[in-house]
Amino acid sequence: MTALADRLHAFFGRFTSATHKDVEGLVAAIEQHLVPVIRGAVHDALTTVEADGKSLLDQLKADETKLATAVAAEVAKLLGHGPVEPPTAGGAA
């Protein structure tokens, strides 16, 4: 905080007679207000990303199963065999 307070004091010192202690108090007040707000926003963003990631993973697994079934059916057709059983959820045929 002191580096930020030093820089702000140097900046504000050009325009006002604010003391370094005043600037430190301002920085502390801002930090006390912003830190919880920023943490909340980051938590909300991470929660959303996690939900989106899980949804995407579920969709990829469903697409993988569909693709495996389609490939197995096509290979069976090419080899002249009848329909094949779709793969299990674990991916084993």
Residues 72/86, Cβ–Cβ less than 8 Å? yes
Average pLDDT of the segment spanning 68-87: 80
Instruction: Tell whether the model's pLDDT for residue 55 goes beyond 90.
Output: yes
Top pLDDT among 50 and 13 is at 50
Write out the two tokens for 47: 């929660």
E-strand stretches of the chain: none
Query: What mean pLDDT is predicted for residues 65-70?
Result: 93
Amino acid at 33: H
pLDDT over threshold 60, residue 49: yes
Ramachandran quadrant class, 91 (left: phi over 0; alpha: psi -120 to 50; beta: rest): left
